[in-house]
Amino acid sequence: MRLLALFDGTIADPEAPHIRVDDLGLTRGDGVFESVLVVDGRPRELGPHLERMQRSARMLELAIPPVAEWERLVAAVLAAWTAPGEVAVKLVCTRGPEYGDGSPTAYALAFTVEPHTIERRLRGASAIVLDRGFDPEISERAPWLLLGAKTLSYAVNMAATRHASAVGADEVIFRAADGSVLEGPTSTVVVARGRTLRTPPASSGILPGTTQAALFRAAERAGWATKVEPVLVSDLTAADGVFLVSSVRKVVRVHTLDGAALPDASATWSELNALYEAEYS
């Protein structure tokens, strides 16, 4: 099932055209988005998602509607939703038509989480490490690079994922020019060693992860230590477990890195996944 809610709350046909050809989201990738997972009718981490969307919009100097209006929009689309199963709600805000009245374009598109997404959660994924081309220290020095903003300009993220498919891998882990781990094209990297979870800092030019934050919260409650600090590519192979976490795919175990099997982290994955799920029970 798929359902579109326009920003005034109207439920509309997602297969009908609703966007102008001069929308700057389309012609310039000039906008921001979030993907929110909804389980049993309840959106997960909606507050953090909406806060991050506002933060992304500030980085783009984009006049985004306030959080409360997005909450209303999510409620509207979920009120109209009737299908069983998990739902992903994509929230989009663009700078609007170039030759328009200056209003942003904003909408929510809800769709049933696809079987292959659920399968990947259970089976894990193979990943390759790809160079993202920049140094982690550039992020704060060059804000025009929009590192750490969740923009609609995702062509590189999509190309990297296609590159992974072409060499037989499921996922990508980006590394910086200095060899430190950044993030996946659509996920956050979490590394487990002993009873400690680590993830790279947002200051290295990556997106602060909403699902990673929820996972860390849950793990801390269960006695895990958590660290937000630089992670090297060599730390991945030395880890007890490497995970790619994102809202819709949840916690995905990386079983193979650059073609070589990683140590079996099934037990750690089961524990972390259970801790994450318990956050919402």
Contact set with a copy of itself (CB under 8 A):
2, 4, 14-31, 33, 59-61, 90, 92, 94, 97, 99, 107, 109, 111, 130-135, 138, 141-147, 149, 151-160, 162-163, 177
Residue positions counted in the chain: 281
Q: How far is CA 127 from the centre of its chain?
A: 16
Q: How far is the CB of 36 from a copy of itself (least distance, A)?
A: 15
By C-beta, is 16 or 68 nearer to a copy of itself?
16
42-52 as b/e: b if 16+ CB within 10 A: ebbbbebbbeb
Q: How far is the CB of 173 from a copy of itself (least distance, A)?
A: 13
By C-beta, is 92 or 192 nearer to a copy of itself?
92
User: Which H helix or E strand runs over 243?
Assistant: strand 241-246
By C-beta, is 69 or 135 nearer to a copy of itself?
135
Q: How far is the CB of 51 from a copy of itself (least distance, A)?
A: 20
Q: How far is the CB of 256 from a copy of itself (least distance, A)?
A: 19
133-150 as b/e: b if 16+ CB within 10 A: ebebeebeeeeeebbbbb
By C-beta, is 9 or 14 nearer to a copy of itself?
14
By C-beta, is 116 or 141 nearer to a copy of itself?
141
- For residue 45, how many C-alpha atoms fall within 13 Å in the half-sphere facing its CB? 27
Q: How far is the CB of 159 from a copy of itself (least distance, A)?
A: 4
Q: How far is the CB of 113 from a copy of itself (least distance, A)?
A: 14
By C-beta, is 26 or 67 nearer to a copy of itself?
26
Burial of 258 (0-12, 13-18, 19+ CB in 10 A): middle
Burial of 193 (0-12, 13-18, 19+ CB in 10 A): middle
Which two tokens mark 224?
Answer: 């895990």
Nearest to 239 by CA among 222, 227, 254: 254
88-108 as b/e: b if 16+ CB within 10 A: bbebbbbbbbeeeeeebbbbb
By C-beta, is 158 or 278 nearer to a copy of itself?
158
Q: How far is the CB of 28 from a copy of itself (least distance, A)?
A: 4
C-alpha–C-alpha distance, residues 94 and 206, integer Å: 21
